[in-house]
Copies of this chain bind each other. A is one copy, B any other.
Amino acid sequence: MAEIPDSHPRKASLISRQRMVEASRRGLLAESAMIAHGRGEAFDYLLGERTTHSAALAIREAAGRLLKADNPVISMNGNSTVLAGEEAIKIAAILGCPIEVNIYYRTEERMSGLIGEFEALKERLANEEENMKPLISEVKILGAEADGRISGLEGPRSLCSAQGIERADVVLVPLEDGDRCEALTSLGKQVIAIDLNPLSRTSRMATVTIVDEVSRALGRLVSELSEKPITTDWDNALHLREALEIMSVSSLRIS
């Protein structure tokens, strides 16, 4: 990795980019993953590359709903694993819930690569966080078995894990595709999406949308969970409009 000076104002964004390039070389990502990452970069740039107040409220709401869930699950794809795999493991450890690797362009090679990535991260994190070691070691990484189905979808995208997404009542899912988000909510599941595009179908279909960069959002969710927040009557459209307003205020940055 090239060194990026600490003083660089966009250091976090550049580190994420390097992680993506490296993961792509290692075959962990679909061919269009880098394009999706770039789209996210643009929206994040307009957000000011920070967690907005509105997004912070969404993260708190997500924490409350995940804590209240009977069977929460964290669904992770290639990009979210590369960018925020560690944070996902910490959340799963706190909630005692599984992580399901679930990717849009499913290949055996990428599935086993990403599951291996999580197992390696678990081992490293268990050693780093002594007091959470037993909880981290117990986090199940699902996805390989593909013994469940998401009704309403066809083809490989309908595949999921019976012990994961299929039985879940609350699904935390960074960077989801719109069709799947819609199918999951049609099944009566709560979907907590993390998506930097407030106009995407996922953002509009989800129960709670966190308009934030995935590693910032999941990092903050880790600390919110310990606050044990209560849930509210969540007006998702209102929060999406707030995100768009913030993006449009970026225009003030031009003199």
Contact = CB atoms under 8 A, between A and B. Distances in A.
Interface of A: 17, 20-21, 24-25, 31-32, 34-43, 45-46, 197-199, 204, 237, 240-241, 244-245, 247-248, 250-251, 253-255
A35 B45 contact: no
Contact of A248 (B20, B247, B253, B255): B247
A36 B41 CA distance: 9
Given A237-B254, A237-B255, A251-B244, A32 B21 contact: yes
Contacts of A197: 42, 45
Contacts of A250: 199, 244
Nearest to A35: B38
A interface SS class: helix
A245 B248 CA distance: 7
Nearest to A244: B251
Given A21-B31, A37-B38, A38-B41, A251 B248 contact: yes
A254 to B, nearest CB: 6
A220 B140 CA distance: 55
23 contacts: A17-B35, A20-B35, A21-B32, A21-B35, A24-B31, A34-B38, A35-B37, A35-B41, A39-B39, A39-B45, A40-B42, A45-B199, A46-B199, A199-B254, A237-B254, A237-B255, A241-B251, A244-B248, A244-B254, A245-B251, A247-B248, A247-B251, A248-B248
Contacts of A35: 17, 20-21, 34-35, 37-38, 41
Contact of A34 (B34, B40, B46): B34
A2 to B, nearest CB: 12
A148 to B, nearest CB: 27
Contacts of A204: 254
Shortest beta-carbon contacts, A-B, top 9: A38-B38, A248-B248, A34-B34, A42-B42, A244-B251, A35-B38, A39-B42, A38-B39, A21-B31
Contacts of A34: 32, 34-35, 38
Contact of A41 (B39, B240, B253, B254): B39
A3 B36 CA distance: 20
A168 B136 CA distance: 61
